[in-house]
């Protein structure tokens, strides 16, 4: 069956344009399934039925695999057999009646407002790098955009007079307000640092690295780690944590959930509602610590 996995991964790459990580994930899941199914004496995909698939999922469960891992395996098998069905290799998809286990969404880790202030205060504004870093951190926290969106921002996406930025993700545009602190940090960066740091005067990317070229996600992740350590923040901070913090702090201060959804670029409101749950969890935590009869 491995030759069909190879055909499937080539299909994902050439026709679906799937990322390398996605393809590797599918390949890993399918090879694990094949090893299990061959061990039961089945060597052709058309011989696989729903009972065999359920037996494999039970095997994963007994191995202590998390519900999220099992769900991912179901998705991999479903896509694989749907591909085989479309190609006429199997006459039915044995995964169609398989239900995905419910996964309780883990509440995201966020920074407190005090921790955000400590982090944003760390960059040294006497250096070009510090001025740039301050602007990047302020924009990230002020808008809640993704790190990929941040490092790919172009000069014409920043509207300083109207105080908003234009962001494009998955071919969808959204307008996000820029707070006064982010505007101030951007003005300093544009007036005092960027024109010195940039290597090519024609470069349109807003934030550049110390070599004057486009900054990578990994490069930004590293600088966030450095500033978190300097600020003595004990949490395992990531750039995405600032995105979560932006949304959680808005919701905590009474922002309309649909407005937050729009700014975050969430396709489904249920994704945004997790910040409401986070707020309720925080209220309960404070109550349990502070109430005399808790």
Characterise 144 by phi-psi region: left (phi > 0), alpha (psi -120 to 50), beta (else): left
3-class DSSP state of 108? coil
What residue ranges define each of the domains in the chain, with the CATH number in brackets? 2-86 (1.10.150.130), 113-290 (1.10.443.10)
Residue 294 corresponds to which tokens in the numbers above?
A: 């808790």
**DSSP letter (8 states) at residue 159:** E
**Regions of the chain with pLDDT less than 70:** 102-106, 278-294
Handedness of CA 281, 287, 289, 290 (dihedral sign): positive
Residue with tokens 């995105």: 243
Residue 200 corresponds to which tokens in the numbers above?
A: 């090519």
SS3 content of the chain, % helix, strand, coil (to 5): 60, 5, 35
3-class DSSP state of 166? strand
């Amino acid at each position: 069956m491995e030759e069909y996995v190879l055909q499937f991964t080539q299909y994902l790459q050439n026709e679906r344009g799937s990322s390398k990580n996605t393809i590797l994930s599918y390949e890993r899941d399918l090879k694990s399934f094949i090893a299990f199914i061959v061990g039961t004496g089945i060597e052709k995909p058309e011989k696989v039925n729903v009972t065999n698939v359920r037996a494999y999922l039970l095997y994963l469960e007994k191995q202590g695999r998390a519900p999220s891992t099992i769900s991912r395996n179901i998705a991999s098998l479903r896509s694989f057999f749907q591909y085989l069905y479309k190609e006429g290799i199997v006459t039915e998809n044995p995964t169609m009646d398989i239900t995905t286990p419910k996964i309780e969404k883990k509440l995201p880790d966020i920074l407190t407002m005090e921790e955000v202030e400590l982090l944003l205060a760390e960059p040294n504004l006497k250096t070009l790098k510090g001025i740039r870093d301050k602007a990047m951190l302020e924009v990230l926290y002020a808008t809640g955009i993704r790190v990929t969106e941040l490092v790919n921002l172009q000069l014409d996406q920043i509207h300083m007079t109207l105080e908003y930025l234009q962001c494009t993700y998955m071919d969808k545009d959204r307008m996000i307000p820029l707070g006064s602190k982010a505007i101030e940090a951007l003005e300093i960066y544009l007036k005092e640092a960027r024109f010195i740091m940039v290597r090519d005067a024609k470069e349109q990317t807003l934030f550049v690295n110390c070599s004057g070229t486009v900054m990578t996600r990994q490069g930004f992740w590293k600088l966030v780690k450095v500033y978190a350590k300097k600020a003595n923040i004990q949490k395992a901070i990531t750039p995405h944590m600032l995105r979560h913090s932006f949304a959680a702090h808005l919701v905590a201060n009474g922002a309309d959930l649909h407005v937050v959804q729009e700014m975050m670029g969430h396709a489904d409101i249920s994704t945004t509602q997790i910040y409401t749950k986070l707020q309720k969890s925080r209220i309960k935590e404070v109550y349990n610590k502070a109430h005399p009869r808790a």
